Amino acid sequence: MGDYIVFDLEWNQGDAPAERNGKTLTFEIVEIGAVKLNEKRQKVGEFSRLIKPQIHQHMHYITGKLIHLSMDDLENGDTFQEVARDFLEWCGEDPKFCSWGPLDLTEFQRNLDFFGMPLLSDRPIAFYDVQKLFSIAYDDGKSRKALASAVDELGIKMDIPFHRALSDAIYTAEVFRGFNERIMQKVSFDTYVTPKTKKQEIRILFDTYEKYISREFDTKEDILENIEIMSTRCYHCHKNLRRKVKWFTPNGKHYYAVAYCEKHGFMKAKVRIKKAENGRLYVVKTCRFISPEDMEEMKAKQRKVKKRQNPG
């Protein structure tokens, strides 16, 4: 197994996305900072490089993150292609990426793609979203905190300034090192590249739910008519379950149903229809077991939606 690569990007944006060969780029990466941890999560290396912009020549007054760099600083950087190549070489075989929030891996791949470099994989990539894991470990699992607040809460020494790539990677690594095995199981998937074939699809079982990321489809109808996607199979005993609450959708994007397994109880299924980078559609489906009270709540929700959609 490869090392953990805890990384952070700084990026700049223009007033409009840049276009090249039919590809667009909004956020141009201008700095990569990273910390390498071995399998025991001990620090074994650092990476820090500035990138000379090729697209956006002015520092945007409002970027995705508050960045503490000037165009003059970046003049000393190397091209994205050079830095990305060195970074990936430094990462080594089979790196396990970790970042604060879900965006960095996506934007990194988008930059690779835009600058004509090979992508990291032909399918979704598992990674650790440290911001999400922090919430699962110490909060309600849903809220998202700024890195500085998380670091402060954990009492980690804050002796280097935030908002430079390496320092943010160092702090993120410190938070990441504190997670136990249960938290470490909660991997996320970057879907900059979505599955193209059935074989590339993702199916992963967590402690309280199952997640499935489908291959691509052309239309919503193709998805809604797909028996496998719209089936409700118990993820413990693999039996097809009868639905107690039939599929319904409050918004045409998210579909819900509840099925019943005699052995395991009420299973709620949620299908989210998402747009892939190439404009085609794919599905993220989650199934989890819920209490009889939650089942009643879903029933009520369905009734309400039905009433709204078919008034009178």
| Binding-site member from 85, 177, 196, 264 for Zn ion (CB under 5 A) | 264
Q: Of 242 and 254, which CB lies nearer to Zn ion in the complex structure?
A: 242
Which residue in the block uniquely carries the two structure tokens 């007033």? Answer: 15
Residues contacting residue 15 through CB under 8 Å, at least 6 positions apart = 60
DSSP 228-284: TTT--B-TTT--B-EEEEEEE-SSSSEEEEEEEETTTEEEEEEEEEEE-TTS-EEEE
201-230 residues in contact with Zn ion (CB under 5 A) are none
Site for Zn ion contains 233 (CB under 5 A): no
Q: Of 25 and 267, which CB lies nearer to Zn ion in the complex structure?
A: 267
Site for Zn ion contains 242 (CB under 5 A): no
Tell me how many degrees the CA angle 184-188-194 measures, rounded to the nearest 5.
150
Q: Which stretch binds Zn ion (CB under 5 A): 104-112, 114-122, 153-161, 254-262?
A: 254-262
Q: Which two tokens stand for residue 247?
A: 């599929």
Q: Is 28 exposed, middle or buried (0-12, 13-18, 19+ CB in 10 A)?
A: buried
Q: How far is the CB of 262 from Zn ion (least distance, A)?
A: 7
Q: Which stretch binds Zn ion (CB under 5 A): 16-24, 97-105, 184-192, 257-265?
A: 257-265
By CB under 5 A, the count of residues binding Zn ion is 6
The half-sphere exposure of 302 on its side-chain side, counting CA atoms within 13 A, is 18
| Binding-site member from 237, 240, 254, 299 for Zn ion (CB under 5 A) | 237
**Whole-number Å distance between alpha carbons of 239 and 230:** 14
Site for Zn ion contains 261 (CB under 5 A): yes
Phi, psi of 278 (to 5 degrees): -85, 10
| Binding-site member from 58, 182, 236, 242 for Zn ion (CB under 5 A) | 236
Interface mask toward Zn ion for 94-133; x: CB under 5 A: ----------------------------------------
Interface mask toward Zn ion for 136-155; x: CB under 5 A: --------------------
Residues contacting residue 70 through CB under 8 Å, at least 6 positions apart = 59
Query: What is the DSSP pairing of strand 96-99 with strand 43-50?
Result: unpaired
**Residue number of the CB atom closest to Zn ion:** 234
Q: Which stretch binds Zn ion (CB under 5 A): 31-39, 150-158, 166-174, 258-266?
A: 258-266
Q: How far is the CB of 297 from Zn ion (least distance, A)?
A: 21
Q: How far is the CB of 264 from Zn ion (least distance, A)?
A: 4
Q: Of 133 and 234, which CB lies nearer to Zn ion in the complex structure?
A: 234
Residues contacting residue 166 through CB under 8 Å, at least 6 positions apart = 8, 33, 34, 35, 46, 47, 48
| Binding-site member from 263, 278, 308, 310 for Zn ion (CB under 5 A) | 263
Q: How far is the CB of 269 from Zn ion (least distance, A)?
A: 13
10-69 residues in contact with Zn ion (CB under 5 A) are none
Q: Of 157 and 263, which CB lies nearer to Zn ion in the complex structure?
A: 263
Query: What is the DSSP pairing of strand 281-290 with strand 265-275?
Result: antiparallel
Q: Amino acid letter at 212?
A: Y
Q: Which two tokens stand for residue 163?
A: 């908002």
Determine the 3-state secondary structure of 88 from DSSP: helix
Site for Zn ion contains 234 (CB under 5 A): yes
Q: How far is the CB of 246 from Zn ion (least distance, A)?
A: 19
Which spans of this chain sit near Zn ion (rule: CB under 5 A)? 234, 236-237, 261, 263-264
